[in-house]
Structures are given as structure tokens and as C-alpha cells.
Amino acid sequence: MKHTDKYSDIRDAVRDLCKEFPDEYHRKIDEQRGYPEAFVNALTKAGWLAALIPEEFGGSGLGLAEASVIMEEINRSGGNSGACHGQMYNMGTLLRHGSQAQKAKYLPKIATGELRLQSMGVTEPTTGTDTTKIKTTAVKKGDRYVVNGQKVWISRIQHSDLMILLARTTPLADVKKKSEGMSIFIVDLRDAIGKGLAVRPILNMVNHETNELFFENLEIPAENLIGEEGQGFKYILDGLNAERTLIAAECIGDGYWFIDRVTKYVKERVVFGRPIGQNQGVQFPIAESYIELEAANLMRWKACELFDACQPCGEQANMAKYLAAKASWEAANACLQFHGGFGFACEYDIERKFRETRLYQVAPISTNLILSRVATHVLDLSKSF
Ligand SMILES: Cc1cc2nc3c(=O)[nH]c(=O)nc-3n(C[C@H](O)[C@H](O)[C@H](O)COP(=O)(O)OP(=O)(O)OC[C@H]3O[C@@H](n4cnc5c(N)ncnc54)[C@H](O)[C@@H]3O)c2cc1C
């Protein structure tokens, strides 16, 4: 199945790079619970992870649509963008809300790969999805902010130099709206780890480098505040919309990967004297997930278009992520099911991709929370919490 669209140059170039890292490479990294260092380095060297950085700062100045194609192609080739997608969506926050001085300081080095901006610290263990209740605080003392608190599930910390951190700068009790009083900061992890920031890795179902973070009087220079103090939640939403859209594209890449694999297999596998793909009981779930994937793709393009035009896109970004994560999960189930026992063999890579795509029903936002957002924000139904 080969699609042609206006991004075929990017698709072909990313595919060519991905061919150097075949299934065996990703399988081995998964078995070792390792990090695909060589793969991420190759993507960085080729400039793909600097796609969103404006040309004046050494990047290629592309939009979210192009960035999403890069992520899609990585997943479609059998890899997992989860190892490096942070740089894309964090970039949105820095580009739109960072000062000229911050951009000049960080972007050229991120573009060359000297610095990595792969982490974003939002989620906390005691508040979960209820982000405005976060308890991590940043208190201004002279020319520094002092950070105390805890974060959980913060990804790629061990493979990043910088992290975007969301913390409360005004207590919840003192703000008019609960979304006010939070701020975002650039944390230089090289200075922070061991000096107020402790990192505890979390082993998990997917081979995804993610961690618990403990802040104890971590000092951050005041100049690392992004934008205006107290407005951080608003700023981080841009990053979250970019994240959701990119993850939708990754799920679409996964979905096509599953459909390619399963359609090929069911044509070849002969049971009861005929290819299993001749049975409608086999064909229909595959066809159904293909239809859902194609529909999800339309919403992904809509979200990209709005984001790149700096228009509100929360609704479309969330719906794209919802549809794509659901479609890739359906495709994963069909692929596993129709490979029979072989689907469970690691050497087929299906069980690995199955685990990887399952994550996106929960992170970065669960399907329930998307449904709730659409019900209350779009359809104006009463809030239940
Ligand atoms: C591998 C991995 C990597 C991650 N990386 C990052 C990262 O880099 N940075 C970061 O900040 N976070 C990260 N996260 C966190 C992720 O964004 C959260 O796990 C996710 O938002 C869900 O939050 P929670 O785990 O606290 O679930 P909870 O908020 O505890 O919710 C649990 C479940 O309850 C249901 N639920 C909760 N509230 C409601 C409601 N009101 N109505 C209906 N259903 C509800 C949902 O189905 C949800 O799945 C990562 C998570 C994982 C697993």
C-alpha cells in the first residue's frame, strides 16, 4: 500500500534513512530495554529532528504537518518515534513563547544535535490528569526560582539535556481561574540532576525511557522562565496540541504498518486449503481498521493545518489523537489475531508494535478525557468533574 501526497519527498528520504535500521535493530533494542541511540543520532544528523526550527536558527523551518510526516514514517517503517518525538512537540512551546534570547541560546545547538530538548515534565503522581492541581512549586528568590515537588512518567530524561517543566508559581487558592498561576521553565538537566533533581527510572510494558522525578530545592535561573509568569498552562497547551497531533500521525504510521503486514500474511497463509484472507471473517476487521485509519488521517491533516496557521486546534488535535489511537489499536488487534500463534513470536515484531501502539489509549491523554473534553467544550454538556 503506497500513498502519494505532497510530502512524498520527505516520506522517501525518511524511509531511506529508516531502511538502515531494519526490524532486527528495533527488536534487539526492545529486548535489551535499550535506547535506539544510533537511530536517533542518524535522524538528528540528517536534520529531521530540527524540522520545526526556523532556518535563521539552523533548522529547516517546516511546519507541524511535515513534522508529523517524519514521525508517521518512523512508525510506519517499524520503528517507534516515542524515542525522539519530544523534541518536535517541545519545540512548539519554545518557538511560540520563548524569548529571542532563549531561542538564540538553545535553538542553534538543538539544530546541530549538540543539545537535546526531548523532555516535558507535566504529570504528577497524586494529581494525574487533573493538571491544574499540580503540587510542584517554583518560588522566586532573587534571580532564581526554587523548585520543590514530584513528577512521574517523564520520558527521555536520560537522553535529553533540557526539559520543559510546568510548576505552580502562585498557589491554587490565590488565583481566580485554576488554569492561572502555573509557569513553564527550561530546566538544564545537566546542571539539575544530582543538585536538587533526582531521577528514578520506571520499567514499563513498552520499552519507553520514562522516569519519576524528585525536586528538592532545585534552583533554576529566573531567565529560564518561558513567557510571562502565571501563564504557563496556556503556553503548554500549544505543546500538548502539537504532541497530540504528532502522536495521531505516529498511530497512523503504526496502523498502516499493521495493515501492510496482515494483508501480506493472510494472502500467503493457507489453512483449510485456501489463503485465510479469502474468508470474510478475516477480511472485514482488516478493512474496517483501514477505513477508520483513513478517516483518522483526515482529522490529523485538519489539526496540522490549524496548528500551522496558529488557529485554535485543541478540538481537532484531541479528536485526531482519539481516532488514530483507536484505529491503530484495531489494526494491531487484527494483525495479531490473523497471525495466529506467530503474532506472539517476537521475531515477527507484531507483539512489540502491539504494545507500543497500546500506550496511546492512555498517554499523553486518555480516551476518556478526550471524550469528556468534546462533551463539555464542544457540545456544551454539563461538566461532571
Ligand atoms: C510510557 C509513558 C510515558 C509518559 N510520558 C510522559 C511525559 O514525558 N511527560 C508527562 O508529563 N507525562 C507523561 N506520561 C503521563 C501520561 O500523560 C499520563 O499517564 C496520562 O495523562 C494519564 O494520567 P494518569 O496516568 O495520571 O491517569 P489518571 O489521571 O489517574 O487516570 C487513570 C484513568 O482513569 C480514567 N479517568 C480519569 N479521570 C477520569 C474522568 N474524570 N472521567 C472518566 N475517566 C477518567 C482514564 O481512563 C484514565 O486512563 C507518560 C505516561 C506513560 C505511561
**Residue 273 Cα to ligand 1 middle (Å):** 47
According to DSSP, the β-strands at 197-201 and 144-155 are unpaired
Q: Is the pLDDT of residue 1 over 90?
A: no
Give the closest residue (by CA) to ligand 1 atom 33. 366
Dist CA 71 CA 49 (whole Å): 10
Cβ neighbours, 10 Å, residue 205: 9
**Residue 179 Cα to ligand 1 middle (Å):** 18
The pick from 88, 129, 203 for probing ligand 1's pocket by mutation, whose C-beta has the most ligand atoms within 8 angstroms, reads 129
- Per residue in 41-80, pLDDT (tens digit) is 999 999 999 999 999 999 999 999 999 999 999 999 999 9
Query: Three-state SS string across 115-166, please?
Result: CCCCEEECCCCCCCCCHHHCCCEEEEECCEEEEEEEEEEEECHHHCCEEEEE
Mean pLDDT of the chain: 97
The pick from 81, 123, 150, 185 for probing ligand 1's pocket by mutation, whose C-beta has the most ligand atoms within 8 angstroms, reads 123
- Closest ligand 1 atom to 366 CA: 49
The pick from 134, 366, 377 for probing ligand 1's pocket by mutation, whose C-beta has the most ligand atoms within 8 angstroms, reads 366
- Per residue in 78-119, pLDDT (tens digit) is 999 999 999 988 988 899 999 999 999 999 999 999 999 999
- Per residue in 276-322, pLDDT (tens digit) is 999 999 999 999 999 999 999 999 999 999 999 999 999 999 999 99
Q: List for the chain the helix, strand, coil content (%; round to 5).
A: 55, 15, 30
- Per residue in 220-267, pLDDT (tens digit) is 999 999 999 999 999 998 889 999 999 999 999 999 999 999 999 999
Distance from chain centroid for Cα 105: 24
Residues with CB under 6 A from ligand 1: 120-123, 128-129, 153-155, 204, 206, 208, 210, 359, 362-366, 368, 372, 385
Give the closest residue (by CA) to ligand 1 atom 4. 153
Q: How far is CA 210 from CA 53, 154, 328, in A?
A: 25, 5, 23
- Global pTM exceeds 0.85: yes
Cβ neighbours, 10 Å, residue 55: 10
pLDDT at 53: 95
Give the closest residue (by CA) to ligand 1 atom 30. 128
Q: Please report, rounded to a whole number, the percentage of residues in the chain having pLDDT higher than 70.
A: 99
Helices (H) and strands (E) in the chain, counts: 12, 10
Q: CA angle, 194 as apex, 191 and 195 as ends, to 5°?
A: 60
Q: How far is CA 99 from CA 39, 103, 105, 106, in A?
A: 31, 6, 10, 11
Please report which confidence band the pLDDT of residue 3 belongs to, taking 50, 70 and 90 as the band edges: low
The pick from 213, 236, 362 for probing ligand 1's pocket by mutation, whose C-beta has the most ligand atoms within 8 angstroms, reads 362
**Residue 226 Cα to ligand 1 middle (Å):** 25
**Residue 201 Cα to ligand 1 middle (Å):** 17
- Closest ligand 1 atom to 384 CA: 41
- Per residue in 135-183, pLDDT (tens digit) is 999 999 999 999 999 999 999 999 999 999 999 999 999 999 999 999 9
**Residue 112 Cα to ligand 1 middle (Å):** 33
- Closest ligand 1 atom to 372 CA: 42
